[in-house]
Amino acid sequence: MRDLVYTGFVSLDGVVDSPGGGPDEEHRSGGWVVNDIEFLPEAFSLKGEELEDTTALMFGRRSYEVFAPVWRDSEDHAAYKELPKYVVSATLSDDALVEGWGPTTILRSVDDIVQLKKSEGGAIFIHGSAELARRLSDAGLIDRYNLLVFPVLLGAGKSLFSREDRAKQTLTLRESAAYPNGIVKMIYDVVS
């Protein structure tokens, strides 16, 4: 069974949207990763470490539409270029896929994701895609969280975790590290 790994930057209060800012912000604190915290390369080393485990990428439609045209041409993301990509969307059409960014498959349902997890291959990493992450977490499909937690409270924005009353999930800490700029790396395996 392939692992689904959510990786992301998250505020202390669980917000994952708008870390880099942008024109479509729905709250006033967009850009909190790049604007508010001293940059220390070691605090971001998790992103490089993940490359060794990444065999495919998964996105929700909106995150795919933002990342694909930028990451396709980015030297920082060159290792992702030829990896298989999966976009979870009921509405995205095949002709809307970004050309020149490796093989991309549209998954239409949670059942499609379940089948993908049963296939041969290694870990699939989910970037951005807060709504998708919540749905997959609620369905018990995420196996690990690779989080860089930032010392900010935003109060608004898309939350990584559902606020619905649901069955408890237990996590086990696989690895952690704290950095002088206040960022904390936390890698959790989902137990149940």
Question: Could you report the per-residue pLDDT of 101-111, keeping only the tens digit for each?
Answer: 999 999 999 99
Q: What average pLDDT does this structure show over 168-189? A: 96
How large is the average pLDDT for residues 60-69?
Answer: 93
Residue 170: pLDDT above 60? yes
Say what the pLDDT of residue 157 is: 84
* pLDDT cut 70: percent of the chain above it: 95
Res 21: pLDDT: 67
pLDDT at 127: 93
- Rounded Cα distance between 64 and 57, Å, is 10
Cβ neighbors of 116 (< 8 A, separation 6 or more) are: 2, 86, 107, 124
Whole-number Cα distances in Å, 104 to 21, 27, 88, 97, 98: 26, 31, 11, 7, 9
pLDDT on residue 37:
85
- Interhelix angle 130-138/110-117, rounded to 10 degrees, is 70
pLDDT number for residue 111: 96
> What number is the average pLDDT over the span 45-65?
92
Please state the pTM of the whole predicted model: 0.92
Domain, as residue range, for 63: 4-190
Report the largest interatomic distance among the alpha carbons of the chain, rounded to a whole angstrom.
Answer: 46
Task: Look over the chain and give the mean of its residue pLDDT values, rounded to a whole number.
Answer: 91
Is residue 52 very low, low, confident or very high in pLDDT (cuts 50, 70, 90)? confident
User: Quick check: 18 pLDDT over 80?
Assistant: no
Residue 156's CATH number: 3.40.430.10
Number of folded domains that form the chain: 1
pLDDT of residue 165: 81
Inform me whether the pLDDT recorded for 22 exceeds 70.
no
- What CA–CA distance (Å, rounded) separates 126 from 58? 5
